[in-house]
């Protein structure tokens, strides 16, 4: 109405302009009379004639003109109403409560009822259009809904209702806004989108984790049969998904499936993992496989294949017997319930040792760092690389920002020994100042950049070497020149001990260095009871021959009274959840290394009969450090990954910032419930 009033006022003013011009002519004529009375007689006559005509036009044509305008407006409004009613797109208007004020024929036809217009409530007809949406303050809203067998995209536009002359509202008393809704039929579009999505290509690689080891336990006559059974299982599985399979090598396959069947694979939790392990023709070791799948969401085959390669590397780096699905912006893990299979051969260790030696020959300085809040295993592995660098005539430094707990006696032993320079240990800031073009950074006992002692070193140095025994995660160090990650290894110290045996004959450990590396293995294996294999004891034997003294090490790692009490209190106050899970909190007050005490408490809780997994929460430095332990029935690594952490199947941890103890407990219990519901607990 405001717009109409303004239009009327504008037209009235337009009709008055001749009158305004008459006044100007009269003023001009008066001036002319004073100047030339004789001439003004004629101009006066013309001026009066003009004023008379202007007044006549204004008085006698105004009514007719306005009537014509009203008729035109009414005719235009009728045409507008007719076009609105005949519009092919369903349209309706409703108030804030959802009551339909008006609608066109297409909307009524859509509802198949001539009575579904005014008076009905749109929220009852279309449940996806809620009253919360209608009452929201957003300018424009698009809602996807369905009616019958059709799908609609509803564009809701808020439209103000005009006021009358008294300032009231003509149609809508409770407010001044109504919703104009346009219903766009998108049924075919949704179907085509689904068809496109289902037919997107997904590429994958299948690697047999322990092919050689499994074949060693089978008679020569049966080896071909075992191979044929494996091929048949894999081929049948991919064929059931309408996929294409190509055998690349004796233990490697390539396959191609569509996105529709990838969803079915996920639904059945990749049953091929379990089916392959069920093959038994007398083989002592069950066959396990790893699958890496690349799915980018497009038809770019080369990009999907590259994702598949990254995914299979992650699967193998996490110990195998699992599936890794990588997309452009996400990585998903499935399986991984068994222990990583130990490789009896040391070929990989020898190859990595020689590769590291070649990298080191062209460098002048080696900077070695482990993870934040470093432990004995991290220190032992760092000391091993320190000895390699020094023996090859290179400058070497170990990054250590903080020394706590059981590490302190070993650290002090190096600091007080005149055989070692003062800058054997440096802070992160000092290490950054030492970096130049001839520097190589060695990362031990961690493969996640954010967990390293000094993450800035990874970007400051061109050559990075990673040696770790933890399973890879999605945020692993991606700029490593040389990466040696073996999840089956007991510790980083074990891996470095093997490298020492292959990198050169002139490298000899001192007894203090041997003690430190032996301590790293002992602590990470809980005195050789967890994650140990043949190669673990061989590495320990090598360190023993190099001068490690077990009695000396045992004295170093005796608990002080405060730590022992804190550990005992954590065990005493443990909550048993779902009969099998021990959850407790370690009080950090009075302890020098609360995270270590928390880990020890988790180990102790695991000794209780009937406990399948133990989780200890330690609040420290504005974070909650979670230590999780199990024997073989629960994969605590999967549990900790859901909290942003990681580790091994039986030893894992996580760090939880900005979370209270109660919130952390609740989150852990939710994860346990999910694992129980999904059958991930034996």
Expressed as residue numbers, the domain containing 291 is 199-335
Contact 310, 295 (CB under 8 A): no
Same domain (yes/no): 223, 249: yes
Report d(CA 306, CA 444) in Å as an integer.
Answer: 27
Nearest to 310 by CA among 168, 192, 476: 476
**Count of all residues that appear for the chain in the document:** 682
* Token pair recorded at residue 36: 């030339």
Q: Residue 287 phi/psi, 5° resolution?
A: -85, 130
Alpha-carbon separation of residue 81 from 78, 103, 105, 198, 587 (angstroms): 5, 11, 11, 44, 76
Report d(CA 607, CA 677) in Å as an integer.
Answer: 25
pLDDT score recorded for residue 94: 84
| 579 domain residue, yes or no | yes
pLDDT score recorded for residue 316: 83
Report d(CA 578, CA 583) in Å as an integer.
Answer: 11
Torsion of CA 220, 221, 222, 224, to 10 degrees: 90
3-state secondary structure of 630: strand
pLDDT score recorded for residue 71: 66
Q: Which residue has the tokens 């990585």?
A: 331
pLDDT score recorded for residue 8: 45
pLDDT score recorded for residue 575: 94
Averaged pLDDT for residues 471-498:
87
Number of structural domains (the chain) is 5
3-state class percentages of the chain: helix first, strand second, coil last, to nearest 5: 45, 20, 30
Task: Give the model confidence (pLDDT) of 78-120 as tens digits.
Answer: 666 667 767 788 888 888 888 888 888 888 888 874 444 445 7
3-state secondary structure of 302: helix
pLDDT score recorded for residue 170: 42
Contact 649, 336 (CB under 8 A): yes
| 340 domain residue, yes or no | no
Same domain (yes/no): 354, 486: yes
Q: Which of 40, 69, 86 is the last residue of a domain?
A: 86
- Looking at the chain, the whole-number percentage of residues with pLDDT higher than 90 is 39
Query: Can you say how many angstroms the Cα of residue 230 is from the centroid of all Cα atoms in its chain?
Result: 34
Task: Give the model confidence (pLDDT) of 325-368 as tens digits.
Answer: 998 888 888 876 655 555 656 778 888 999 999 999 989 999 99
pLDDT score recorded for residue 573: 93
Instruction: Compute the C-alpha angle 564/566/568, nearest 5°.
Output: 70
Same domain (yes/no): 214, 134: no
E strand intervals along 358-462: 365-369, 395-399, 425-426, 439-444
Same domain (yes/no): 149, 237: no
E strand intervals along 161-275: 177-185, 201-208, 244-249, 252-258
Query: Exposure of 27 by Cβ count < 10 A (0-12 exposed, 13-18 middle, 19+ buried)?
Result: exposed
Same domain (yes/no): 110, 129: yes
Report d(CA 203, CA 257) in Å as an integer.
Answer: 7
Residue 153 sits in a domain whose CATH number is 3.30.450.20
Nearest to 539 by CA among 673, 384, 651: 384
- Looking at the chain, the whole-number percentage of residues with pLDDT higher than 70 is 87
Same domain (yes/no): 546, 625: no
Report d(CA 629, CA 612) in Å as an integer.
Answer: 9
E strand intervals along 39-149: 91-94, 100-103, 140-147
3-state secondary structure of 651: strand
Per the DSSP assignment, residues forming a β-bridge with 440 are 366, 463
Averaged pLDDT for residues 449-472:
91
| 342 domain residue, yes or no | no
Residue 647 sits in a domain whose CATH number is 3.10.310.30
Same domain (yes/no): 362, 485: yes
Same domain (yes/no): 545, 568: no
Task: Give the model confidence (pLDDT) of 596-651 as tens digits.
Answer: 899 889 999 998 999 999 999 999 888 999 999 998 788 888 888 889 888 777 88
Residue 507 sits in a domain whose CATH number is 3.90.1640.10
Among 284-293, 455-464, 468-477, 543-552, the least confident range: 468-477
Q: Which of 166, 194, 222 is the last residue of a domain?
A: 194
Query: H-type helices in 324-422, by residue range?
Result: 347-361, 376-391, 407-415
Averaged pLDDT for residues 33-61:
74
Q: Residue 2: which pLDDT band, with cuts at 50, 70 and 90?
A: very low
Same domain (yes/no): 11, 99: no
Same domain (yes/no): 74, 122: no
| 412 domain residue, yes or no | yes
pLDDT score recorded for residue 168: 44
pLDDT score recorded for residue 559: 78
Nearest to 629 by CA among 645, 618, 616: 616
| 161 domain residue, yes or no | yes
Q: Residue 38: which pLDDT band, with cuts at 50, 70 and 90?
A: confident
Q: Residue 72: which pLDDT band, with cuts at 50, 70 and 90?
A: low
Same domain (yes/no): 379, 329: no
Q: Which residue has the tokens 């990681």?
A: 646
| 663 domain residue, yes or no | yes
pLDDT score recorded for residue 68: 63
| 682 domain residue, yes or no | no
| 647 domain residue, yes or no | yes
Same domain (yes/no): 184, 169: yes
Alpha-carbon separation of residue 452 from 72, 431, 644, 653 (angstroms): 79, 13, 15, 15
Query: Can you say how many angstroms the Cα of residue 282 is from the centroid of all Cα atoms in its chain?
Result: 43
Query: Can you say how many angstroms the Cα of residue 566 is from the centroid of all Cα atoms in its chain?
Result: 36
Instruction: Tell me the angle at which helices 407-415 and 376-391 cross, rounded to the nearest 10 degrees.
Output: 30
For 151, other C-beta atoms within 10 Å of its C-beta total 17
Task: Give the model confidence (pLDDT) of 175-232 as tens digits.
Answer: 467 888 889 898 888 888 888 888 889 999 999 988 888 888 788 888 889 999 999 9
* Token pair recorded at residue 212: 């050689």
* Token pair recorded at residue 158: 């808020």
Task: Give the model confidence (pLDDT) of 396-432 as tens digits.
Answer: 999 999 887 778 889 999 999 999 999 999 999 999 9
Q: Taking the chain, what is the end-to-end CA distance rounded to the nearest angstrom?
A: 74
Average pLDDT, the chain: 84
* Token pair recorded at residue 537: 């004891």
Q: Which of 556, 575, 604 is the last residue of a domain?
A: 556
DSSP single-letter state for residue 278: T
Residue 235 sits in a domain whose CATH number is 3.30.70.270
């Amino acid at each position: 109405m405001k717009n109409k009033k303004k239009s009327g006022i504008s037209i009235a003013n337009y009709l008055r302009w001749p009158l305004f011009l008459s006044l100007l002519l009269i003023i001009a004529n008066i001036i002319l009379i004073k100047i030339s009375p004789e001439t003004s007689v004629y101009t006066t006559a013309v001026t009066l004639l003009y004023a008379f005509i202007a007044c006549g036009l204004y008085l006698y044509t105004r009514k007719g003109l306005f009537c014509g305008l009203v008729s035109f407006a009414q005719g235009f409004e009728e045409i507008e109403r007719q076009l609105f009613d005949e519009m092919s797109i369903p349209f309706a208007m409703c108030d804030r409560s959802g009551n339909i004020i008006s609608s066109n024929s297409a909307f009524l036809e859509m509802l198949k009822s001539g009575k579904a217009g005014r008076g009905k409530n749109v929220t009852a007809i279309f449940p996806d259009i809620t009253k919360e949406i209608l009452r929201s303050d957003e300018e424009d809203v698009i809602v996807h809904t369905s009616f019958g067998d059709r799908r609609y995209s509803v564009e809701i536009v808020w439209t103000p209702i005009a006021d009358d002359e008294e300032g009231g509202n003509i149609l809508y008393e409770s407010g001044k806004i109504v919703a104009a809704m346009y219903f766009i039929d998108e049924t075919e579009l949704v179907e085509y989108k689904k068809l496109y999505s289902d037919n997107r290509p997904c590429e994958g690689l299948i690697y047999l984790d322990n092919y050689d080891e499994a074949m060693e336990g089978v008679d020569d006559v049966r080896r071909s049969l075992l191979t044929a059974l494996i091929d048949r299982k894999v081929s049948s599985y991919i064929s059931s998904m309408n996929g294409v399979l190509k055998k690349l090598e004796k233990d490697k396959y390539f396959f191609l499936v569509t996105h529709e069947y990838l969803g079915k694979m996920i639904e059945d939790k990749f049953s091929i993992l379990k089916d392959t392990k069920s093959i038994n023709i007398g083989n002592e070791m069950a066959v396990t496989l790893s699958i890496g799948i690349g799915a980018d969401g497009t038809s770019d085959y080369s990009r999907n294949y590259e994702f598949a390669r990254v995914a299979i590397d992650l699967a193998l780096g996490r110990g195998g017997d699992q599936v890794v699905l990588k997309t452009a912006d996400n990585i998903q893990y499935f399986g991984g319930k068994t222990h990583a299979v130990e490789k009896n051969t040391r070929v990989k260790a020898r190859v990595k040792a020689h590769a590291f030696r070649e990298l080191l020959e062209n460098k002048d300085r080696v900077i070695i760092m482990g993870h934040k809040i470093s432990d004995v295993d991290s220190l032992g592995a760092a000391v091993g690389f320190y000895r390699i660098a020094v023996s090859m005539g290179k400058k070497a430094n170990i990054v250590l920002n903080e020394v706590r707990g059981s590490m302190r006696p070993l650290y002090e032993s190096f600091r007080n020994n005149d055989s070692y320079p003062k800058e054997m240990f440096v802070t992160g800031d000092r290490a950054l100042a030492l970096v130049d073009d001839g520097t190589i950074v060695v990362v031990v006992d961690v493969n996640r950049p954010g967990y390293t002692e000094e993450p800035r070193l990874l970007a400051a140095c061109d050559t990075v070497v990673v040696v770790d025994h933890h399973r890879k995660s999605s945020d692993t160090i991606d700029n490593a020149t040389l990466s040696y990650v073996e999840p089956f290894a007991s510790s980083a110290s074990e891996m470095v001990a093997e490298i020492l045996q292959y990198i050169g004959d002139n490298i000899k450990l001192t007894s203090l260095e041997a003690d430190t590396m032996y301590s790293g293995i002992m602590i990470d294996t809980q005195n050789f009871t967890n994650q140990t294999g043949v190669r673990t004891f061989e590495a320990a034997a090598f360190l023993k021959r190099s001068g490690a003294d077990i009695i000396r090490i045992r004295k170093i790692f005796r608990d002080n009274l405060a730590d022992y009490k804190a550990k005992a209190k954590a065990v005493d106050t443990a909550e048993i959840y779902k009969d099998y899970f021990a959850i407790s909190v370690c009080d950090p007050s009075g302890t020098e290394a609360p995270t270590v005490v928390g880990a020890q408490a988790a180990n102790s809780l695991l000794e209780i009969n009937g406990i399948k997994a133990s989780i200890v929460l330690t609040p420290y430095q504005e974070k909650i450090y979670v230590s999780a332990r199990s024997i073989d029935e629960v994969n605590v690594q999967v549990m900790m990954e859901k909290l942003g952490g990681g580790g091994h199947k039986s030893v894992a941890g996580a760090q939880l910032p900005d979370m209270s103890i109660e919130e952390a407990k609740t989150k852990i219990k939710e994860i346990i419930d999910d694992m129980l519901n999904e059958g991930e607990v034996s």
